[in-house]
Amino acid sequence: RTGDLVRWGSDGQLQYMGRADEQVKVRGYRIELGEVRAALSELDGVEHAAVIAREDLAGEKRLVGYVTGAADPADIRARLGRRLPTYMVPSAVVVLDALPLTVNGKLDTRALPAPEYQDADRYRAPVSAIEEILAGIYAQVLGVERVGVDDSFFDLGGDSLSAMRVIAAVNTTLSKGISVRALFEAPTVAELAPRLGGGADRPSRVLAGPRPAAVPLSFGQSRLWFIDQLQGPSPMYNMPAALRIRGRLDVPALSAALVDVVARHESLRTVFTVSEGIPHQVVIPAERAAVGGDVIDAAGWSPARIEEAMHAEASYQFDLGSEIPIQTKLFRLGDDEHVLVAVVHHIAADGWSLTPLVRDLGVAYASRCA
């Protein structure tokens, strides 16, 4: 067996479909791209097909299908949903005039265009406060720029896992108790808003309550904690960031600003302890949170050595049970040139969090220097 997937064409010739051993991992599921591609190719109206895993704007890896022919993308996903498990259905399907090929006749994956999850001509803006909140939650979870009230959550690339994230955010933000089934039954903002009292001018205020003694983990945190326990500490879920700072730097003020940021964001000073076999979140007091911040004198280092040192910091292995999920280190390249390396574990933040954190650090540093 060669591992190649082929099919008989209408002209009696064998058509190469790809490899059967192209396995990817998407949201915890191991998926054979060849199997999805074969199912896609068997659909009426599809002439040629390709399937790849690519990251969306939020950094989440998703399946994307590419086809040639006269088939409708929404219809393709609906028909695939009746043949394949939900996690194997591409989040988006793109119709092309022809699949891009290399000079050797192989699929040129780098030339495949990124999917567009919304149609600007059909965009209808939210009107009520509830619709605005729902559209914002959809956009944040799915990593798209904007969401219209008529855009289906699943046509935008949503799946069962991201649906649970949406419902958790909706219930937390609006103090509701709707189920995931509601999103499957009413996948657009316009359909879901009435189930949440969408006609109201504004949602009821969310009031802070006392923190329970044992704070449970969210769904996403539970998944990352379980992986950490199963495989051991790993840099796989690290989110590193390096900030080059030119000009005079007040190092004590920067160190104090880092503490200020960690004090403001409780998720950055949370450890995950286990009681009777159940993990819980424990927020460490700000004054006890060790954020690192050591200063490394790298003046005179070669670029290769600096890059190697930064890579080592980015590969830091967190002990989630005893260490807060952020570590920083400052490299001094010269009197007026520094690089701040910060590493945050994904259990405490996501890709959307990095920009606000950098902004907060800038504000805190300016305040400390004033």
Q: Average pLDDT across each block of 10 residues of the chain; the chain has 370 residues. List them in order.
A: 62 63 73 88 91 76 89 84 81 90 87 70 77 90 82 78 87 85 87 76 61 80 88 90 93 94 94 89 91 91 94 94 95 95 91 82 92
- Give yes or no: residues 289 and 325 share one domain: yes
> Would you say residue 202 lies in a domain?
no
Q: Which residue, among 333, 228, 235, 328, has the nearest Cα to 271 in the 3D structure?
A: 228
SS (H, E, C) the chain: CCCEEEEECCCCCEEEEEECCCEEEECCEEEEHHHHHHHHHCCCCEEEEEEEEEECCCCCEEEEEEEEECCCHHHHHHHHHCCCCHHHCCCEEEEECCCCECCCCCECHHHCCCCCCCCHHHCCCCCCHHHHHHHHHHHHHHCCCCCCCCCECCCCCCCHHHHHHHHHHHHHHHCCCCCHHHHHHCCEHHHHHHHHCCCCCCCCCCCCCCCCCCECCCHHHHHHHHHHHHHCCCHHHEEEEEEEEECCCCHHHHHHHHHHHHHHCHHHHEEEEEECCEEEEEECCHHHCCCEEEEEECCCCCHHHHHHHHHHHHCCCCCCCCCCCEEEEEEEEECCEEEEEEEEECCCCCHHHHHHHHHHHHHHHHHHHC
Task: Report d(CA 68, CA 217) in Å as an integer.
Answer: 44
Q: Supply the pLDDT for residue 367.
A: 93
- Give yes or no: residues 158 and 235 share one domain: no
- Final residue of a structural domain among 162, 196, 230: 196
CATH at 125: 1.10.1200.10
- Give yes or no: residues 268 and 237 share one domain: yes
- Give yes or no: residues 187 and 320 share one domain: no
- Final residue of a structural domain among 111, 137, 164: 111
- Give yes or no: residues 106 and 125 share one domain: no
Q: Supply the pLDDT for residue 329.
A: 96
> Would you say residue 229 lies in a domain?
yes
Q: Supply the pLDDT for residue 349.
A: 86
Task: Return the residue matching tokens 């449970």.
Answer: 216
Task: Report d(CA 117, CA 67) in Å as an integer.
Answer: 16
> Would you say residue 175 lies in a domain?
yes
Count of domains for the chain: 3
Exposed / middle / buried, residue 235 (Cβ in 10 Å: 0-12, 13-18, 19+): middle
- Give yes or no: residues 227 and 149 share one domain: no
Q: Which residue, among 335, 325, 332, has the nearest Cα to 357 in the 3D structure?
A: 325
The alpha carbon of residue 34 and the mean position of all alpha carbons in its chain are separated, in whole angstroms, by: 25
> Would you say residue 272 lies in a domain?
yes
Residue 300 near residue 290, CB atoms below 8 Å: no
For residue 165, the enclosing domain spans: 120-196
| Per-residue tokens: 283 | 């927020």
- Give yes or no: residues 287 and 364 share one domain: yes
- Give yes or no: residues 76 and 162 share one domain: no
- Give yes or no: residues 262 and 359 share one domain: yes
Confidence (pTM): 0.49
> Would you say residue 68 lies in a domain?
yes
CATH at 93: 3.30.300.30
- Give yes or no: residues 282 and 346 share one domain: yes
Q: Which residue, among 97, 133, 136, 129, has the nearest Cα to 113 in the 3D structure?
A: 97
| Per-residue tokens: 332 | 């001094």
- Give yes or no: residues 227 and 362 share one domain: yes
